[in-house]
Structure formats: structure tokens, C-alpha cells
Structure 1
């Protein structure tokens, strides 16, 4: 099965081609924020190098969240469009689970975390592909309490630059063998999305939505202004 994978969930742009679990080719652009401009040319270049076309792809896979609101929409919209027009399969993969795959061979609890500002993180903890702490939006203190309560002796943090939180993390997990990801260790690889996509459920392109894991600031402002609770048929989108 040939899988084209996309990640626009972070400031890094990554696309990859997998044939089952074998990587054909991958391209990563670090700290590249023009995803809407560069994604299509990167995909075209990757396909050309491999001697393939979009019609040769069996499954499109995308980092479905959490991550940048705009970035997630860019990646998912592109994957949905390809899958729908070409009649191919679409799969959404957790951004955090894909990040955890950077340390897939380690005998450790891997905490994948993206800085969500104000001492909060989008985070999930994994042993291999098993989710031990569910993907969510956590205050750092709450996340550390949950990690500290787990029996794992070795803990790896991956995803963000953790340097400004190092003292707090180290103090909370003083009894753990701790490693904080640095540099390229924190890159999100589309090839990992492709591997996980092999066993992920297929989505309906018309129904697939980003998994933001929290409301946008505009939604919070709307709720404060109107006093209304969010529901499936919330008037928020119509009003804005």
C-alpha cells in the first residue's frame, strides 16, 4: 500500500511516501510557516522523485491534531481534497502519537507535548503505540503529576523546546531517568504518520475534522460576550 503522509501541524512542514512500512522518501522543512504556499510543491516534488502520481497513492494520511489551528486546516483540507477527488482512503493520525514515534525503540514512557502557552501543553504519553495518558490540553503541573504517578523508570519528553520548563519538569520527576528532547529529536516526521496510518481507521473525507483539543480564543470571547454554552449547533460560526 502506497501512503502519502502530510504534517502541517507545527511550524515544521513534512511530507513522506511510504510503501507499507517502508519509507520511499521524506521531505522536512524546519521552521517553515508558509504551509499553504509550499505544501503542494513539496508533494509534487516528492512524487516526481519517486516516479509516482497522485493516482498511484492508495491512502492519504495527515496529522489531524493537536497543533496550529491554521496549519491543521491546511494539511487536512489538502488530504481530504485528494482523497475525495481521487476516490482514495483518508486517515487521520494523532500529532502526539506521531511525535512519540521518534523514540519508538526506547524502553521508556514517551511524553509527546506541544507548548500551548500560559504553562499549558497539548500532550499525551505513550508506551510504543499504546496511549497511557490520553491526548489532551493540560496545565503543566497536572501533566507532571500524572507522569510522576506512573511506574515507568525512564521518561522522555518530545515535541517542544522544553528548556524554559526544565527546572520544573526535573523537580517534579526527580525519581525518573529523564530525557528532554532537543533539536532534531523534536521534529515531526510524516514518515511516522505513514507507518501509523497502516493500522488507523479510514475516515469519511466529508466528515473528517481537525482535533484541536481546545476552543479557539475567538470562541472563548464569543462565549464570554453572549453567555451561551457551546453545543453542536452553536451559533458561534454563523455569527462570526
Structure 2
């Protein structure tokens, strides 16, 4: 099995190669969401270094959100194009699940992505299994009833006061890794390449404003 994993859902761009059991190559960059110009050159470099040819690939794994609207579109479009062109499987994995798994920790882990104005995209996992639905919510309200032995990861610096009672993952382990994404997606059921869309959990700000304007017309 030869897997390419792509994560463009946050400000960090991450790409990895895997045989399904081990991470063979991985590279990550903080690109200020300039993923469109960085993604393919980075992927091509990794494949050249690993002596992999596109025709040898068997599966594309992509982080499907929630996250940056633009970043998710770039990752989804690239993953779908590769899967369709090469006639191979496409697998989607939650960005929040990836963030929790990238900590390398067991127990109860909450992954948080900043969604501004005190809100976040939040997902809770226990020993790798999702607990409840991922959601867009007020972070302070979400964590208020959680046990204090819950581990926090992600954009924790945006919610310092609300997260004071909890252990926070060290900065080096708070960002999602494409290598972990590849391993998570190695055994998942593929999605329909044509029907696949990222999961935003909320409308992009421009879309929300447009819909609100229509209501008042």
C-alpha cells in the first residue's frame, strides 16, 4: 500500500507518505494559509525523495475539516483530483480527530480550533473514539462541565481563561500531523470521489452574511 496524506485545514500545511503501517516521509510548514502554491511542490519533493511514482499510489487520505474554508477547499480539490485521475481510493478523516491523535496521548482529549468571537470547532475523543458530535460552539460553555483530567489540544492559547483547570498539550504536539493522518486513514472505508465535500461545521463568513442579507430583503 502506498498512501499520500494531505492536511491543509489549518495554517500548517502537512503532507506525508505511508505504507499503511509506518510513516515513510513527512513534511510540515506554517504557510499563513498559502497552501495553494506550496502543496503540490511539497508533495512532489517527498515522492521524488522516496522514489515513488504517481501510478504506484493506492490511496489518498485528506483531512476533511472543520477548519479554514480556503484551506479545506484546496486540500479537498487536490485530493479529489489525484484520486480521480489515478483511479485510486479517497479517504476522509476529521481534522479534530487528527489533532487529538497527533498528541500521542490516551484518555480523554478535547481538540479545539479557534473560530473567533470566543467560539471554536470542538471534538472530544476518548482512547481514540469520538465522544458525541463535533460542533461549532462557545468553548467556555463546552469545557465548563468536563472533568479536569481532560487533556486539551489545538488552539488552546485562544482560550487561556476557560482552559485554566485543564492540562494542555505541549506546543510541539498541538498541531495535526499528516503522518498520523495517513495511519488513521489506512484502514478507513473510502468515500465517493465525486460526492466528497469538506465538513465546515458552519458557513464561511461571506456566505453567512449573504444569507442574512437575503432574509432582510
TM-score of the pair, normalised by structure 2: 0.93
SS state at 2:113 partner: strand
Cα deviation per residue 1:94-123 (whole Å; 9 max; x = unaligned)?
0000111123343x2110110100000101
Q: Which runs of 5+ in 2 are unaligned?
A: none
Root mean square deviation, CA, Å: 1.6
| Residue aligning to 1:64 | 64
Q: Give 1:138's aligned residue.
A: 137
State the distance in 2 between where 1:193 and 1:164 align.
24
Question: Does the aligned pair in 2 maintain the 1:124–1:134 contact within 8 Å?
Answer: yes
Stretches of 4+ moved more than 6 A in 1? none
**Residue matched to 2:178:** 190
Partner of 1:119: 118
* Structure 1 residue 67: Cα displacement: 0.5
The whole-number CA distance in structure 2 between the counterparts of 1:146 and 1:199 is 34
Q: 1:110 to 1:135 in 2, by over 3 A?
A: same
What SS class does the counterpart of residue 147 from structure 1 fall into?
A: coil
Once the two structures are superposed, residues 160-206 of structure 1 have per-residue CA deviations (whole angstroms, 9 ceiling, x without a partner) of 1x235222222xxx4xxx31134222121001111110232211111
Alignment of 1:78-157 (within 5 A): 78-106=78-106, 108-148=107-147, 154-157=149-152
Aligned partners of 2:115 and 2:121 also within 8 Å: yes
Corresponding residue for residue 209 of structure 2: 221
Give structure 1 stretches of 5+ with no counterpart.
Answer: 229-240
The whole-number CA distance in structure 1 between the counterparts of 2:3 and 2:116 is: 33
Aligned pair 1:50/2:50, yes or no? yes
Q: CA deviation at 1:33?
A: 2.5
Structure number with bigger Rg: 1
TM-score w.r.t. the length of structure 1 is 0.85
1:159 to 138, 142, 154: 154
SS in 1 for 2:140: helix
Q: C-alpha distance in 2, partners of 1:167/1:220?
A: 29
Q: Distance in 2 between matches of 1:168 and 1:33?
A: 27
Contact 2:151 2:169 in 1 (8 A): yes
Q: How many residues were matched structurally?
A: 216
User: Are residues 146 and 132 of structure 1, via their aligned partners in 2, closer, same or farther at CA, if it must alter by over 3 Å?
Assistant: farther
Distance 1:181 1:104, change over 3 A: closer
